[in-house]
Amino acid sequence: MNERERYIADLATYLRGMDKNDREDVLEFYSEYIEDADLQERAAIEKKLDTPK
Residue 27 in 3-state DSSP? helix
pTM, entire model: 0.91
Residue 49 in 3-state DSSP? helix
**Cα separation of 34 and 28, whole Å?**
10
Residue 1 has pLDDT above 90, yes or no: no
**Are the beta carbons of 23 and 11 closer than 8 angstroms?**
no
Per-residue pLDDT tens over the stretch 10-40 = 999 999 999 999 999 999 999 999 999 999 9
Residue 30: what pLDDT?
98
Q: What are the phi and psi torsion angles at 49 (to 5°)? A: -115, -5
